[in-house]
Amino acid sequence: MVKKIRVGVLFGGQSGEHEVSLASAKSILRALESTGKYDVVPIGITRAGRWLIRADALPLLASRAEVRLTGSPDAAAGAEGEEEEPTALLPDGGENSLVRLTPSGGAPETIDVVFPVLHGPKGEDGAVQGFLELAGIPYVGSGVAASAAGMDKDMMKRLFRDAGLPTPDWIVIDAHRYAKEKCAFLERAEAIGYPVFVKPANLGSSVGISKAHGRNELESGIEDALQYDTKILVERGIDAREIECAVLGNDEPEASVPGEVIPSREFYDYDAKYIDEGSKLVIPAPIDERAAREIRRISVLAFQVVGCAGMARGDFLLERDTNRIFLNELNTIPGFTNISMYPKLWEASGVSYVELVDRLVRLAMERHETRKNLSLSHKPRRP
């Protein structure tokens, strides 16, 4: 009998996108289980930072939807609010092993590959990726540097600009300096020209994002964004259609057909994404072939410029008056429910949800094998 690959699906986390992560994880867990190829290990992180594994992790999902996995009993207790003792998973020095760290100890849990479904800080920003690198465990998606750059909108946009990729003008506001030089920062922001978008630098799913048409909205938008991050962006608002394109692969990434987001509100904020029912996804996007080709080209180039692996989703603005294309950002762990844009774009490109998840696991293991062959010691060349 062929041994099943043990896949740890890591979800939850300590960010404003905790709920989004849970929704994505439910779909991924079901898809992996449906293949019959994997021993699926749910690994949840509560908002308080407690790590839970297998049956203990399921209550995080149970209130949102029923989750039944082979070999995992239904969890009826252990709600997220019960933080009785600190729990973490740490590398134990063994091959692909994690040790469950609690006051009473715990047996090592061997994982073949981890599928992180963590959105936002402490999950999508390179922190968890660095932890998995230290543990020597293959994982789906980008590495430490690309994850960090992809999470920080300012760093990411600097990479785009240096590579000659078109991105909207922006300024950065630091919380400490803003408190001392508020008027100067407001004047710099207004110099971009209204309307402007105000965004936390290190968050996704449109959490903390607002659109300002004047000074009062600008100030309130900055104060709101500073609740989520100490560094925020004020970015030029563009009257544009919102286009997205998915990228898949490692060394030879491919781009999907582009899709269009038609938000139920003035822009695609958190409520338009996850609460309102009026937002629409149009796939493929009703744009001309030249624009579609260029968006796909820029998506792959941005993926390579940032140094991504596995997956990413490029978010674009197609200016209404000029048809100019602007690359807004790259998401290294995009939303992954079965109705999210990333899997739907690949479905329209001929890759089913289950096949997509399966391919991402294989890409993770292939990348790990390639990097495992790198030398860990320096042998000077003799003359």
pLDDT for residue 95: 56
Range list of H helices, the chain: 18-35, 59-62, 127-135, 144-151, 153-162, 175-180, 182-192, 215-225, 270-274, 289-306, 341-348, 353-372
Characterize 202-222 residue by residue with b for buried, 16 or more Cβ atoms within 10 angstroms of its Cβ, and e for exposed.
Answer: bbbbbbbbbbbeeeebbeebb
Q: Specify the DSSP element, H or E, that contains 315.
A: strand 310-319
Can you list the domains of the chain with their CATH numbers?
5-139 (3.40.50.20), 169-236 (3.30.1490.20), 240-370 (3.30.470.20)
Write the pLDDT tens digit of every residue in 238-297: 999 999 999 999 999 999 999 999 986 555 454 444 444 567 899 999 999 999 999 999
List pLDDT tens digits, range 93-135.
555 556 554 444 555 678 899 999 998 888 899 999 999 998 8
CB 23 within 8 A of CB 10: no
Report strand pairing: 240-249 vs 259-262: antiparallel
- What integer is the mean pLDDT of 136-147? 95
